[in-house]
Amino acid sequence: MEGTRNERAAIVLASYVIGFTTAFILYANITSNEGVSSFINVPKTEVNTASVASAVSSTPEPTNELPIQEVTSPTVSYSNGQLEVVNGESVNLLSFNPEVTGFDVDTADLAQGFHFGEIEYQVSPDKNFVFFCEQQDVTSTACLGFIYDITAGTIYPVVKNGAPVLISADSLASTEFDNKGLVIGSNFSANSKAPWILIDNTETLDLQ
C-alpha atoms less than 13 angstroms from C-alpha of 42 in its C-beta half-sphere: 13
Contact yes or no for 136/142 (Cβ under 8 A): no
Contact yes or no for 19/51 (Cβ under 8 A): yes
Q: Is residue 85 part of a domain?
A: yes
Specify the DSSP class assigned to residue 133. E
Q: Is residue 69 part of a domain?
A: no
Q: Is residue 206 part of a domain?
A: no
- Give the 3-state secondary structure of residue 61: coil
DSSP string, 23-50: SS-EEEEE-TTTT-EEEEEPPP-SS---
How many distinct structural domains can be found in the chain? 1
Q: Is residue 62 part of a domain?
A: no
- pLDDT of 109 reads 83
**Calpha distance 30→53 (Å, rounded):** 28
List, in sequence order, every residue forming a beta bridge with 39; answer none if it has no partner: 28
Contact yes or no for 187/197 (Cβ under 8 A): no
Q: Which domain holds residue 160?
A: 2-57+74-200
DSSP string, 137-151: -TT-S-EEEEEEETT
How does pLDDT run across 72-128, given as a tens digit for each residue?
578 999 999 999 999 888 899 999 999 999 988 888 888 999 999 999 999 999 999
C-alpha atoms less than 13 angstroms from C-alpha of 142 in its C-beta half-sphere: 12
> Closest Cα to residue 134, out of 107, 160, 162?
107
Q: Is residue 30 part of a domain?
A: yes
How does pLDDT run across 38-51, given as a tens digit for each residue?
332 333 333 333 34
Q: Is residue 68 part of a domain?
A: no
- pLDDT of 137 reads 92
- pLDDT of 74 reads 85
Q: Is residue 65 part of a domain?
A: no
Residue 65 confidence class, pLDDT cut points 50, 70, 90: low
- pLDDT of 8 reads 54
How does pLDDT run across 120-164, given as a tens digit for each residue?
999 999 999 999 999 999 998 899 999 999 999 999 999 999 999
Q: Is residue 208 part of a domain?
A: no
